[in-house]
Amino acid sequence: MVRRQHVRLGASLVVYVLAAAAACGEEDPGQGTLAVEIWGEDFIEEGIPESEFADGWSVTFDKFLIAVDGLAIARGSSAPDVEDATQRIFDLTRPGPFSFLTRLVPAGRYDRAEYRVRPAATGAVAGNATTDDVDRMVAGGYAVYVEGTATDGTASKTFRWGFDSDTRYTECHAEANLVSGGAGTVQITIHADHLFYDDLFSETPDLRFAEIGRADADGDGEVTAAELAAHDITALPDYGTGSLPIDNLWDFIEHLTASLGHIDGEGHCHAEGAGH
């Protein structure tokens, strides 16, 4: 009798344990291939046309180097299924998009991503950039390096600017819905036009270059970082800085580098970090 009770109790416990496991566990969703890519869109590859600027200028890029690492992609609030710390250097003036990495991951909705754009460090590898460009980024400690030309049809100005800003893009609203056996893509999208915004906080900033051109104090046709740093913006009607104590064009543009990063085209991220 006592033995039968023990058997019954044991059987009940097994049932409870199995039921609990079923309740707490999840079905295997299967796996799919998640590709992560990076792209600078037409604005970097072909240039930003005059129609986009409020002051008649246009810009083309000869180089747009960016150092990206700290990649993490997750399904909702769960732990990331993709994590990669390798710092990769890309030149986004080359026709893209470019592969960042590819992983076999559980199927599901990958709607949360983060990455970091910060000064290139020893150990950084070429994404699609040349070895020389990787060396340039590491030696300069640049997170972003741009070379290009701006023109208003009569005057031309060149620029070569390296930024050592450090920005973590978090809570990026990715849109990859991966089914079992299928494939999906998350794209790190870089918006170069933000470098020429005329306000740090306006929801509807204009693109301008004329003031940047006026910063060319020695008139040699190249607008340098030093000339931008010496160009006071405090009396200008635009170039709003909100509560930030920014009073020159270099600090202004450097601050804007923290707004370059997006996800899946126009998807937004939360940017953390400032300047250096």
Partner 1 sequence: MRRVLSWTVLLSLLPLLAAVCDPAGEPARLVLPVVVDGRGVTAFRNAEGYDIDLSACRVAIRDLEFTIAGETHAGLDERLRRLLVPVARAHPGHYAGGEVTGELPGRFIVDFFSGADGALGDGTLLEGDYHGLNFSFRAADAADGIETTDPLLGHTAWLAGTARRGTDTWAFDAVLDIDEGTKMVGGPFTLALRAGMSPTLVLRLLAFDPSTEEETLFDGIDFATLDADGDGVVAIQPGDAAHNILRRRLQVHDHWWLDVRR
By CB under 8 A, name the binding residues for partner 1. Answer: 5, 9, 191, 194, 200-203, 234-237, 240-245, 258-262, 268-274
Residue whose CB is less far from partner 1, 8 or 131: 8
Task: Find the shortest distance in angstroms from Cβ 200 to partner 1.
Answer: 7
Residue whose CB is less far from partner 1, 231 or 262: 262
Q: Are strands 31-39 and 183-190 parallel, antiparallel or unpaired?
A: parallel
Task: Find the shortest distance in angstroms from Cβ 250 to partner 1.
Answer: 17
Residue whose CB is less far from partner 1, 154 or 243: 243
Residue whose CB is less far from partner 1, 50 or 272: 272
Burial class (CB in 10 A: 0-12, 13-18, 19+), 103: middle
Task: Find the shortest distance in angstroms from Cβ 254 to partner 1.
Answer: 13
Residue whose CB is less far from partner 1, 184 or 261: 261
223-260 burial by CB neighbour count: b if 16+ within 10 A, else e? bbbebbbebebeeeeebbbeeeebebbbbbbbbbbbbb
Task: Find the shortest distance in angstroms from Cβ 203 to partner 1.
Answer: 6
E strand intervals along the chain? 31-39, 58-74, 82-84, 88-91, 98-106, 108-110, 112-117, 125-126, 144-151, 156-163, 167-172, 176-178, 183-190, 222-223, 261-263, 270-272
Task: Find the shortest distance in angstroms from Cβ 264 to partner 1.
Answer: 13
